[in-house]
Structure 1
Amino acid sequence: MTDKAPHPADTPLYPIREVSRITGVNSVTLRAWERRYGLIRPQRTPKGHRLYAHEDIERVERILQWLGRGVPVSQVRELLDQPEAAPTPIPASGDWPSQQRQLIAAIEALDLGQLEVLFNQSLALYPVSVCLSELWQPAVRELEERWSDQLGAALQRRCLEAFLRTRIGIRLHHANQCLKGPTLLVAPLPDDPGPLWLLLAALAASDAGYRIQLLDTALPFGELPLAVERFGAGALLLVSGRAERADLVRRQLPRLAEQLDAPLGLCGPVARIRGNVLADSLVELLGDDLPLAMTRLRSLIHDA
């Protein structure tokens, strides 16, 4: 990318926090794209603050399109800089599967140092929604299949849960200080074997702009209406990686939805597995694709 000329004086310029709000890409990722890959090049104020023009925002959106198609961030620049008339190349494949293999290998080896590197690298270079869809959800699904009959499965699961509880918990704490969206109460269902899907759902919801009140162990259903009231939650999000007991799904969940003054959303594998049972209830089935679930939740809270 060549250096660009300064924009005319009357061109609107946006600070990094506004670009982050418009595009959904956090400021850490925007700075990484600039410093490490030269994907964007904002202007600077005399004090060094970044200012972005509308064309920079359009460029960020094009970057997101390529990333969403599976192109590694290291290969995006050459695609962006091609003339508009050039044929659109076929995106390189294999990067996300490679990252999934690295992530799974680090977890199975209990290599917490490598896990830290992969976690920080993925969230610094890609939007949270892309990381979840392309890396973390597929990796967790594959691990859960392996854990069904693998020696050391419990140890691997607990180590991963402890790692994510700390890392995601820190992100939620800092995000809650500046987010102004509605509060979302996020809690697991009783049969969930651990908080993997819960933590990923909380991360997706925070990225979608919600202030997160997270309960990492199941609360008795009789106390959930009180919790929603006390926290002033705009919705209750229940999560599970299991099918959950038939009685709980058929009777208790619909009854709970009727008692709440806020919408009740269900996400994670349970929403896919038990969808037919709850189709005619007040329980909103958000699915097990977490970024898509947050899109559905947004319209649900808006309607409420």
Structure 2
Amino acid sequence: MSDTPADPNLAYYPIRIVSNETGVNAITLRAWERRYGLLNPKRTAKGHRLYTEQDIQLIRKVVALLNRGIPISQAQAMIDNGEVADDLPASVPNRPSQWQHYREHLNKAVMEFDDGAAATLFVEVSQFFPIDVALRFLFIPLYRHLQENVTQQLGPARLRFYAAFLQARMAWRLSEQERAAGAPSVIVANCTGQDDIDLLLMALLLKQHKLDPVWFSGILAPAQLAELARMPRWQALVINVGDQASDRMLDQLQQLTQHSGQPVFVLSQGLEQSSLLSRGLIALQEDLHQSALNIRDMLSGIIE
């Protein structure tokens, strides 16, 4: 264990700051260090980890590789071998066996309604991958697959089982992430009876971008949202209106944004953007990662 670094020319950052800067939680950073040796942080006299700017850049490079579907073990080898340039290539190898291994085990757990096995897998994957990467490449694709095959035998039961499991784990991850000081607070709510998977993913992404999303489970009608939005805490709303939102619902949301002065971002499938824009509502893209960036930029006053 190293003592507190003495080099005055280097800046060192505690794990909390590094986690906030990179979007990788502290548990994952420690796992990368212990299991893969990706990081070798300095230590204070009391054993607290300290990271350099080079460490932060390395973590961001690893995250970029993970975002392309490359497993952590392969990302480590590519970095060690100098195969990763500053500008990562757009093309990636075929889907790695590590993800396939996880898919097979997760699918087996769902087919057998084994929530214990699914929970164990969720914890394992979350230790080695940022939550948005794990969701994008493993957990949400299975949810989409179950939606598409809901007419098969036991299809509805498996979809409901997995949706309940996944929503609970996503909500837990959202609640455990530290809130950034002074972060704009955002209402995240559902006006439909649809699952909250996409809403929770959006909330997790917004929190990674140092916003303060607050997820409300169940259904909140526009009138209830209007009452909630009158509290001075909120700066925006992200609302799921589904694919068959009535004109009455959209008109109520229009009144909400007019009276509150807060932007209302709308998740919808099948609705014409013009129908939303004409009411002052902001349609979110299918790419939720880009939508989260757009929300952050709007609330932060950033023009890129």
Common fold, TM-score beyond 0.5? yes
What does residue 209 of structure 1 align with? 210
What does residue 183 of structure 1 align with? 185
* SS of residue in 1 equivalent to 2:74: helix
Amino acid at match of 1:136: F
Amino acid at match of 2:80: D
Q: Give the superposition deviation at 1:83.
A: 3.8
Instruction: Tell me the TM-score normalised to structure 1 length.
Output: 0.83
Between the aligned residues of both structures, percent identity stands at 30
Contact 1:272/1:288, CA 8 A, preserved across alignment: no
Q: Give the superposition deviation at 1:64.
A: 1.5
Q: Give the superposition deviation at 1:277.
A: 3.1
Contact 1:128/1:207, CA 8 A, preserved across alignment: no
Contact 2:188/2:199, CA 8 A, preserved across alignment: yes
What does residue 300 of structure 2 align with? 302
Amino acid at match of 1:300: M
Which 5+ residue runs of structure 1 have no aligned equivalent?
1-5
What does residue 3 of structure 1 align with? none
What does residue 131 of structure 2 align with? 128
What does residue 167 of structure 1 align with? 169
* SS of residue in 2 equivalent to 1:71: coil
Amino acid at match of 2:54: E
Q: Give the superposition deviation at 1:246.
A: 4.2
Q: Give the superposition deviation at 1:152.
A: 2.4
- Alignment partners' CA distance in 1, 2:136 and 2:185: 24
1:126-275 aligned at under 5 Å gives the runs: 126-147=129-150, 149-175=151-177, 180-190=182-192, 192-230=193-231, 232-239=233-240, 242-248=242-248, 251-267=251-267, 270-271=268-269, 273-275=271-273
- Alignment partners' CA distance in 1, 2:272 and 2:248: 11
Q: Give the superposition deviation at 1:56.
A: 1.2
Which 5+ residue runs of structure 2 have no aligned equivalent?
none
Tell me if 1:51 matches 2:50.
yes
Contact 1:71/1:93, CA 8 A, preserved across alignment: no
What does residue 67 of structure 1 align with? 66
2:109 pairs, out of 106, 110, 122, with: 106
| Cα deviation 1:82-127 (Å, max 9, x = unaligned) | 14799x9974432345544543442233121221122222322122
- With 21-30 and 132-141 compared, the bigger mean Cα shift is at 132-141
Instruction: Give the aligned length.
Output: 294
What does residue 10 of structure 1 align with? 9
- Alignment partners' CA distance in 1, 2:29 and 2:94: 23
- Alignment partners' CA distance in 1, 2:84 and 2:73: 22
Q: Give the superposition deviation at 1:51.
A: 0.9
Amino acid at match of 2:71: P
Q: Give the superposition deviation at 1:38.
A: 0.9
* SS of residue in 2 equivalent to 1:40: coil
What does residue 278 of structure 1 align with? 276
Q: Describe the shift of the 1:43–1:150 C-alpha distance in structure 2 as closer, same or farther (beyond 3 A).
A: same
